[in-house]
Amino acid sequence: MRELDETDLEILRLLVSDGRRPYNEIADAVNLSPPTVSDRIDRLADLGVIRRFTVDLDRSLLADGVSVLVDLRAEPGRVGDVRAAIEEIEGVEHVFVTAEGRIVFQARLQENAIEPLLDETIDTTAVREYDVSLLVDSTWYPQPRGVEFALECDECGNSVTSEGESARLGGEIYHFCCSSCKSQFEEQYEELQEAV
């Protein structure tokens, strides 16, 4: 494995602006061959930097309920629970969790059913207060602009360099600075699984 370089970021930018851009076009832009571009994209996907290829839809053209922004403050220690409950709600598109335990999410819901739905889905004892606002517009600007790449070893916390390794355990991708951290992590993971 290697750290990401400027070429990877350029590939990401090109894919963000057009996720179906042919590899030979990308290859020309970054002075690589198409197979190499393919390899890099695979690696970016393995690393988890690319979560998925997708389409950006104009949902206002799909009469899909109204778009609302919900702002709520979870009780200390209950943020995870509330967040999980929110994820279960059909129509939720974006969820933001702040460092202070505030959760803001955007969803497309049936207008008359918003409050009952929230009351029903979310444990009210875990939420201090909440506020629902009707949205008139929402836009997404997906251009990545940063340059650096920062990965921390999931075992020891050191930064992951070119000697690092990755592993996929239970659907999640983990990164390690070295093979011993990786094997130690995998061992602990297995023990944990057996205990469950």
Partner DNA sequence: CCTGAAAAATTACGTGA
Partner DNA sequence: TCACGTAATTTTTCAGG
d(CA 57, CA 108): 13
Reading phi first (left if > 0) and then psi (alpha if -120 to 50, else beta), residue 157 is in: left
Per-residue x/- track, 106-145, DNA (CB under 7 A): ----------------------------------------
Among 10, 34, 106, 189, binds DNA (CB under 7 A): 34
d(CA 90, CA 60): 17
Whole-number minimum distance, CB 55 to DNA, in Å? Answer: 13
Reading phi first (left if > 0) and then psi (alpha if -120 to 50, else beta), residue 171 is in: left
Whole-number minimum distance, CB 137 to DNA, in Å? Answer: 30
Cβ–Cβ < 8 Å for 103, 95: yes
Q: Does 32 bind DNA (CB under 7 A)?
A: yes
Per-residue x/- track, 2-31, DNA (CB under 7 A): x----x------------x-xxxx-----x
Whole-number minimum distance, CB 165 to DNA, in Å? Answer: 10
* Both structure tokens of 55: 């389409």
For residue 34, give every residue at least 6 positions away whose Cβ sits within 8 Å of its Cβ, in sequence order, or none: 22, 23, 24, 26, 27
Nearer to a second copy, 146 or 196 (CB): 146
Nearer to DNA, 45 or 92 (CB): 45
113, amino acid identity: A
Q: Does 9 bind a second copy (CB under 8 A)?
A: yes
Cβ–Cβ < 8 Å for 50, 181: no
- Footprint of a second copy on this chain (CB under 8 A)? 4, 9, 12, 15-20, 47-59, 61-65, 69, 71, 83, 87, 90-100, 102, 104, 106, 108, 133-142, 144-146, 148-151
